[in-house]
Amino acid sequence: MTTAIGFNDTDKSTSAVLQDVIDSMHDEHVTLRQILERMGESGLLLLCGLLSLPFLVPVSIPGVSTVFGAGIVLIGIAITFNRFPWLPEKVADRKLERARLVPVLERGLKVLRKVDRFVRPRLPGLTAGAVVNRINGLVLTAAGVLLMMPLSFIPFSNTLPGVAILLLSTGISQRDGMVVAMGHLMVVLTLVYFSALAYAGFAAGQSLLG
């Protein structure tokens, strides 16, 4: 199910948005769809950042990058078109117990408040406006595609796009244009690295054939 959602909450820090979500959870059960709808773009980007964390090491577990990369691509597309991402109904509408969920969210809130010390709204030209938001969403989607490439056995092939995704998701959610610019740079570096790998593989193949 893809329904339009507003992304008007991103003038707040992600920690402030998450605090609002926690404060609004009065029912005994809540669904992932409800949480993401309440958090809007901040929630999607937070999830995106969390999905990138396993890849911040030189070599990642084979197969994981494909699954997590696909999730990041879906989030990137959702941000690009300002729509709720496609999720299986069993996942999106599964009821979660508030009593168990809130402590987990509160632990995440503590981490986000520490992140707030290092990121802040700046360089608005790289974060503000519908056109810029779509461009950033497309770059985030591209980083997710790069993460999905079946190259996890090669050092840094998952790390570079993983870092790019973490920087982009953090920068966009916090309206920090400097961090977003660093994310764009990491995507470019990833493309250069993958191009070098492809050229090396082609050259090796040519030498063997020759």
Mean of the per-residue pLDDT values for the chain? 83
The domain tally of the chain equals 1
Percent of residues in the chain assigned helix, strand, coil, to nearest 5: 70, 5, 25
Return the percentage of the chain with pLDDT > 90, whole number: 28
Within a domain: 64: yes
Q: How many CB atoms lie within 10 A of CB 126?
A: 21
Give the structural domain span for 73: 12-206
Within a domain: 103: yes
Which residues contact residue 190 at a Cβ distance below 8 angstroms, ignoring those fewer than 6 apart? 143, 146, 160, 161, 164
The pLDDT of residue 62: 63
pTM of the model: 0.82
Q: How many CB atoms lie within 10 A of CB 210?
A: 5
> Mean pLDDT across the stretch 30-39?
79
Element of type H or E holding 29: strand 29-31
Within a domain: 3: no
Asked whether 10 and 42 are in contact (CB, 8 A), the reply is yes
pLDDT surpassing 60 at residue 164: yes
Strand ranges (E), 58-177: 95-97
Within a domain: 6: no
The pLDDT of residue 205: 83
Q: How many CB atoms lie within 10 A of CB 119?
A: 18
The pLDDT of residue 5: 44
> Mean pLDDT across the stretch 26-43?
81
Within a domain: 1: no
Q: How confident is the model at residue 60 (pLDDT cuts 50, 70, 90)?
A: low
- From the list 78, 128, 109, 102, the residue with the least C-alpha distance to 13 is 109
pLDDT surpassing 60 at residue 8: no
Q: How confident is the model at residue 9 (pLDDT cuts 50, 70, 90)?
A: very low
The pLDDT of residue 179: 95
- Helix crossing, 41-52 with 159-174: angle to 10°? 160
pLDDT surpassing 90 at residue 183: yes
Name the residue with higher pLDDT: 92 or 156. 156
Instruction: Enumerate the β-bridge partners of residue 176.
Output: 122
Within a domain: 117: yes
> Mean pLDDT across the stretch 159-184?
93
Asked whether 91 and 34 are in contact (CB, 8 A), the reply is no
Number of helices (H), then strands (E), in the chain: 9, 2
Within a domain: 19: yes
Length of the chain measured in residues = 210
Burial of 26 (0-12, 13-18, 19+ CB in 10 A): exposed
Within a domain: 5: no
